[in-house]
Amino acid sequence: MFGDFLVPGADPRVYTEVTDYGALRSVISEYLGDFNATSKKPMKLVLFLFALEHVSRIVRIISQPGGHALLVGVGGSGRQSLTRLAAFMSEFSVFQIEVSRSYGKQEWHDDLRSLMKLAGEQNKKTVFLFSDTQINHEFFVEDISNILNTGEVPNLMQAGDLGPIFETIGGRARAAGCDAGKDAMQNFFFSEVRKNLHCVLCFSPVGEAFRERLRKFPSLVTCTTIDWFSAWPTDALRGVAVEFLETLDAPKEQVRAVAFPNPGHYTVCRLSRVITRTSHGPD
């Protein structure tokens, strides 16, 4: 693994190989502690090796110019939690929509305008975290495909939206050698969006919807880096089980026996809880 986050607060960050996994876990645990201390929604994560690898990949993807990620895995595999942690480690803002029954085209476009302004007008490094469970309408995916391709959605920003934006970014545009013409300012604004905006898509491979969307919108693959969230290995499942059963008033040997009574158990690991099932049904 490689990363530029091994020394928190370093300036400039140095991209280097990870040679000590114990130190890596300690550093990312420190980031997680800082995140939980400042977030309204703290995350209780178990940082086993697979989780550390995924965090490192996501950080590397979003740190690249125009870097977008497609995280493929079933729900509960930690895609969104690890993305929030990776964004915090990279000092990026996270933007996510809140879908309701009445959420439609108008609300979606309002959110996209807010996202564009955050990245282009306010010049903030931003991660747009989007899950396939939030797709109320298929035009959501079409607009995301346009963002991946060109950094903009056709006819999204109207003249009334662009006027105040041009006033805000005028100083940055002149410093970059851009003239004050409308077309030049608009091109500068969307270049800032492309520079600062990173989409992280969390899609499940289960069912036909995933394959159908990839066929309709190939940019979901060609313009992103894919990270597969496969099944967690046994040591990861054991680590999570022991972590959350340690609070039981029982000897550690019994805790480990409860977590893994026999190798035939099928354990489903979610980073926030552990569910143990047997071949005969739930325990």
Give a yes or no: residue 7 inside a domain: no
**Residue at a domain's end among 187, 208, 228:** 228
Domain carrying residue 183: 66-228
Q: Would you call 129 helix, strand, or coil by DSSP?
A: strand
Condensed to tens digits (0 to 9), the pLDDT of residues 133-179 reads: 999 899 999 999 999 998 889 889 888 888 899 888 888 888 888 87
Statement to judge: residues 214 and 241 lie in one domain: no
Quote the mean pLDDT of the chain. 85
Give a yes or no: residue 146 inside a domain: yes
**Residue at a domain's end among 228, 247, 262:** 228
Statement to judge: residues 195 and 263 lie in one domain: no
Q: Which amino acid is at 116?
A: M
Statement to judge: residues 130 and 224 lie in one domain: yes
- Could you tell me which residues come within 8 angstroms of residue 66 by beta carbon, excluding any fewer than 6 positions away? 194, 195, 198
Whether 213 shows a pLDDT value over 70: the answer reads: yes
Q: Report the C-alpha gap between 274 and 282 in whole angstroms.
A: 12
Give a yes or no: residue 18 inside a domain: no
Question: For the domain that residue 187 is a member of, what is the CATH number?
Answer: 3.40.50.300
Strands 281-282 and 273-278: antiparallel
Give a yes or no: residue 31 inside a domain: no
Q: For residue 275, what pLDDT is reported?
A: 39
**Residue at a domain's end among 228, 247, 270:** 228
Statement to judge: residues 193 and 249 lie in one domain: no
Statement to judge: residues 146 and 262 lie in one domain: no
Q: For residue 238, what pLDDT is reported?
A: 81
How many domains is the chain partitioned into structurally? 2
Give a yes or no: residue 112 inside a domain: yes
Q: Which residues of 202-215 are buried (b: 16+ CB within 10 A; e: fewer)?
A: bbbeeeeeeeebbe
Condensed to tens digits (0 to 9), the pLDDT of residues 108-136 reads: 999 999 999 999 999 999 999 999 999 98
Place of tokens 């550093």: 27
> Per DSSP, what are the bridge partners of residue 72?
203, 228
pLDDT band of 204, cuts 50, 70, 90:
very high
Condensed to tens digits (0 to 9), the pLDDT of residues 39-62 reads: 888 998 888 889 999 999 999 999
Statement to judge: residues 121 and 167 lie in one domain: yes
Statement to judge: residues 118 and 257 lie in one domain: no
Give a yes or no: residue 40 inside a domain: no
Whether 237 shows a pLDDT value over 90: the answer reads: no
Statement to judge: residues 206 and 254 lie in one domain: no
pLDDT band of 203, cuts 50, 70, 90:
very high
Cβ 120 vs Cβ 169: under 8 Å: yes
Q: Report the C-alpha gap between 242 and 226 in whole angstroms.
A: 31
Q: For residue 257, what pLDDT is reported?
A: 58
Statement to judge: residues 256 and 214 lie in one domain: no
Statement to judge: residues 202 and 278 lie in one domain: no
Statement to judge: residues 82 and 220 lie in one domain: yes
Statement to judge: residues 76 and 147 lie in one domain: yes
Closest CA to 125 of 193, 173, 188: 193
Distance of CA 186 to the CA centre of its chain: 28
Give a yes or no: residue 96 inside a domain: yes
Distance of CA 277 to the CA centre of its chain: 29
Give a yes or no: residue 148 inside a domain: yes
